[in-house]
Homo-oligomer: A and B are copies of this chain.
């Protein structure tokens, strides 16, 4: 039983000092200027040609995917989509700075991380068409990806819930003593949830090797950051929890890569959490259900379009001699075709057989679920034409 003095590190004053945010001023790390030239003062991270190309590839891929799937949603081929446009650097370069064994717990706008890890077009499509090939078994809306093999936790819609979960996951990694951390992505809106508070505080107190990666993209659906919080972004909160914090230009691949690399090093070496706030902008609508013209101006969007993270990365890679415009155009064209072809192919795949409806509620279906399935199948077989997606395959396997 040691003596714990909660005043031990508290200094003293004798005048009423009202501390305001002015005290804190958390600068944003930028390594590449908006035109792609490195800042002189910046020490660029070691990023080899292959990794740089992989990052660019993933960024371009998700941009293509976004375009195509928004189109597919407009055509009524899928019910819903949510684009990452504008935030490709934040979500891709951060994942690139991790190791494959690191767990990713994401919000929903992090297809960059998933693409970087190697999730295939087929996998994206299987999830979005809720078909029987999707290991998530078509139970959630499009974009709720998840893949055990890639250490990418299946996404859940309720915002912020993954934050304390990530602390717990990382605690388990620490207890196992492996060289692995957890990265937890979330938006600046989600950071208003009570779970954010719980997750950061617990990670700090319980020394969990977790990287909290906040995409501050200025909006939560229609709500601007200015109506979301009054402090200095999300970074300033890290200080309150005693969590080491880095603010970074989320549209700068180099800065994001360097910040995440540093964060991972700290998390592993010191077995503690690190918070990264990536300043970026949601260029897309919130989702295909949203129309941002109702709440923000074209000019604002244009200003941010000029900060396109992909263009910046291309410029830098061009300077390295790693980028060829013409070859790239072909690659992107091929991506477009692939996505479209895969879409056409996958949209014909069946939904899971009806037996799946009661599976995975528990490890094995209890009596009442078996009874409910039996009754349901009998019912479907009475009205097969009303349940066309499942009635054709009532006798599984």
Chain B residues, Cβ within 8 Å of A3 = 297, 299-300
Within 8 A of B (CB), among A222-236: 224-233, 235-236
| Interface pair A231/B247, CB less than 8 Å apart | no
Q: Does A395 contact B (CB under 8 A)?
A: no
Chain B residues, Cβ within 8 Å of A236 = 239-240, 242
Chain B residues, Cβ within 8 Å of A133 = none
Q: How far is the CB of A334 from chain B (nearest CB, A)?
A: 36
Q: Does A296 contact B (CB under 8 A)?
A: yes
CA–CA, A233 to B241, complex, Å?
Answer: 9
CA–CA, A9 to B27, complex, Å?
Answer: 9
Chain B residues, Cβ within 8 Å of A166 = none
CA–CA, A227 to B249, complex, Å?
Answer: 34
Chain B residues, Cβ within 8 Å of A240 = 231-232, 236-240
**Known contacts A239-B21, A240-B237; is A15 also within 8 Å of B43 by CB?**
yes
- Interface size range on A against B: 35 or more
CA–CA, A29 to B295, complex, Å?
Answer: 44
- From A123-131, A195-203, A338-346, give the one contacting chain B: A195-203
Chain B residues, Cβ within 8 Å of A244 = 18-20
Q: How far is the CB of A387 from chain B (nearest CB, A)?
A: 40
CA–CA, A247 to B274, complex, Å?
Answer: 26
Q: How far is the CB of A222 from chain B (nearest CB, A)?
A: 11
CA–CA, A159 to B106, complex, Å?
Answer: 30
Q: Does A149 contact B (CB under 8 A)?
A: no
Q: Does A176 contact B (CB under 8 A)?
A: no
Chain B residues, Cβ within 8 Å of A6 = 188, 216, 218, 224-226, 233, 279
Nearest B residue to A238, CB-CB: B19
Q: How far is the CB of A345 from chain B (nearest CB, A)?
A: 41
CA–CA, A14 to B205, complex, Å?
Answer: 30
| Interface pair B192/A194, CB less than 8 Å apart | no
CA–CA, A238 to B242, complex, Å?
Answer: 13
Contact of A194 among B17, B198, B243, B259 (CB under 8 A): B198
| Interface pair A4/B218, CB less than 8 Å apart | yes
Q: Does A23 contact B (CB under 8 A)?
A: yes
Nearest B residue to A41, CB-CB: B14
- Residue-wise, chain A 263-305 has the 8 Å CB interface mask toward B (1 for contact) of 0001000000010000100000000000000011101100000
| Interface pair B42/A15, CB less than 8 Å apart | yes
| Interface pair B28/A13, CB less than 8 Å apart | yes
Q: How far is the CB of A23 from chain B (nearest CB, A)?
A: 6
Nearest B residue to A24, CB-CB: B239
Chain B residues, Cβ within 8 Å of A235 = 19
| Interface pair A239/B246, CB less than 8 Å apart | no
Q: Does A327 contact B (CB under 8 A)?
A: no
| Interface pair A29/B17, CB less than 8 Å apart | yes
| Interface pair B1/A15, CB less than 8 Å apart | no
Chain B residues, Cβ within 8 Å of A158 = none
CA–CA, A186 to B249, complex, Å?
Answer: 37
Can you name 9 extra interface pairs (CB under 8 A) apart from A12-B249, A236-B239, A237-B240? Answer: A3-B299, A4-B224, A6-B225, A10-B279, A16-B262, A19-B239, A205-B228, A232-B242, A237-B237
Q: List 20 A-B contacts (CB under 8 A).
A: A5-B300, A6-B218, A6-B225, A10-B232, A10-B279, A13-B27, A15-B42, A16-B246, A18-B244, A19-B26, A19-B235, A19-B244, A194-B194, A229-B241, A229-B242, A230-B243, A231-B239, A231-B242, A232-B242, A238-B240
Interface residues of A (CB under 8 A from B): 1, 3-7, 9-21, 23-31, 39-43, 188, 192-198, 201, 204-205, 216, 218, 224-233, 235-247, 249, 258-259, 262, 266, 274, 279, 295-297, 299-300
